[in-house]
Amino acid sequence: MRSLSSGTVEEPHSARFRRARSGRHPDGDRSLGGLRMSQDDALFAHRPVMVDEIVDLLGPVPPGVVFDGTVGGGGHALALLEAHPHLRVVGVDRDPDALAAATQVLGAHIATGRAVLLHARFDEAFDVLANAEAGLQPGDLSGALFDLGVSSPQLDVAGRGFTYRDPDAPLDMRMDPDDELTAGHIVNTFDEVALAALFWEHGEQRFARRVAHEIVAARPLHTAGELVDAIKRGVPAAARRTGGHPAKRVFQALRVEVNRELDVLPVALDAAIEWLAPKGRLAVLAYHSGEDRIVKERFRSVSTGDCVCPPTLPCVCGSESRIVARVLHRSARKPSPGEVRANPRAESARLRAIEKLT
């Protein structure tokens, strides 16, 4: 996953984070972590966000394996391998196209055994690590990385159904094409109340009820264009003139539901923390306010033990025995202004990290 926001489903950004601008790489550079790709190889070219910060964060970890739970096009993994000879990478993605691209980008490191790629959803990948990485067990990972959400290549390929800009795009939105649930199934079978709740909870769409009513009235819907037309009828004309495309929040909500993004994230975070070795680090890039809240809460829990004692008094609730990690930065880090100028789709990124205690 390489996630998005209500700020837009067309870009990896958040409803409550500042709205990011859409756009391709302004300089036309197709390089990934130092590896220049040809036009033919760049179908899944994805510019890794905050790559320098990720490399710096994971540099001090003990020698061993870093788990990249959202390897995408392999940009972060390649940068880590080239910067840190003491690390290996196990990269996971649920998107076969992403894995094909990562195989090309990381080919030299795969050949030497420093990189392994797996096709799995990141919350399920830990179940296969023992077989994939010669007996790797909980407590063995030197680091873990999650770059959440939808990547630029997934958005830019109309056939994947993530974009509302192509009226003929199918209502799909599956990151893994083997999954059964599609956006088309949701809009054509969920009742009006369920649709409204979905659009409000995952997209913060304030006209969720009106939009849900128009979608139900327009059934059956087969293309992005048909869905966009129904959404526009549910959003008042005055509201359509501000805040970007009227369909962005609904498309975001559908994508989150299709891929169960907010359901699998807490499971994956807890598993990653369990698998970390002492002084191992977990870094998470989030672009959606809902995702970032989950990350922030999980990190708060493992770094405080869920202490309920008054902050001015000594702890007597036993939380110290439950503290397993320390937060590396008090607040989320953001991309530099220079990175945002070079890659506007990075604008909504929020980076949080923790270190496992001994």
pLDDT in tens, 140-153: 999 999 999 776 66
How far, in whole angstroms, is CA 41 from its chain's centroid? 23
Query: Does the model's pTM come out above 0.85?
Result: no
Number of H helices, E strands in the chain: 15, 9
CA nearest to 344, candidates 8, 23, 57: 23
What confidence category does residue 233 fall into, taking pLDDT thresholds of 50, 70 and 90?
A: very high
Task: Determine the Cα–Cα distance for residues 83 and 313; give it in Å rounded to an integer.
Answer: 44
Q: Which amino acid is present at 195?
A: L
Query: Which of 34-43, 111-120, 313-322 bottoms out in mean pLDDT, i.e. has the lowest?
Result: 34-43
Task: Determine the Cα–Cα distance for residues 171 and 220; give it in Å rounded to an integer.
Answer: 11
Domains by residue range for the chain, with CATH: 31-153+261-356 (3.40.50.150), 180-258 (1.10.150.170)
Task: Determine the Cα–Cα distance for residues 299 and 17; give it in Å rounded to an integer.
Answer: 19
SS3 31: strand
Rounded to the nearest 5°, which phi and psi values hold at 152? Answer: -55, -45
pLDDT(1) > 60: no
Query: Quick one: 124 exposed, middle or buried, by C-beta within 10 A (0-12, 13-18, 19+)?
Result: middle
33 Cβ contact partners less than 8 Å away, ≥ 6 residues apart: 48, 51, 74, 75, 76, 78, 79, 82, 105
For residue 8, what are the CA distances in angstroms to 3, 19, 175, 287?
Answer: 10, 7, 17, 10
For residue 182, what pLDDT is reported? 97
Q: Centre a 10 Å sphere on the Cβ of residue 43 and count the other Cβ atoms it contains.
A: 14
For residue 251, what pLDDT is reported? 94
Cβ atoms of 71 and 99 within 8 Å: the answer is yes
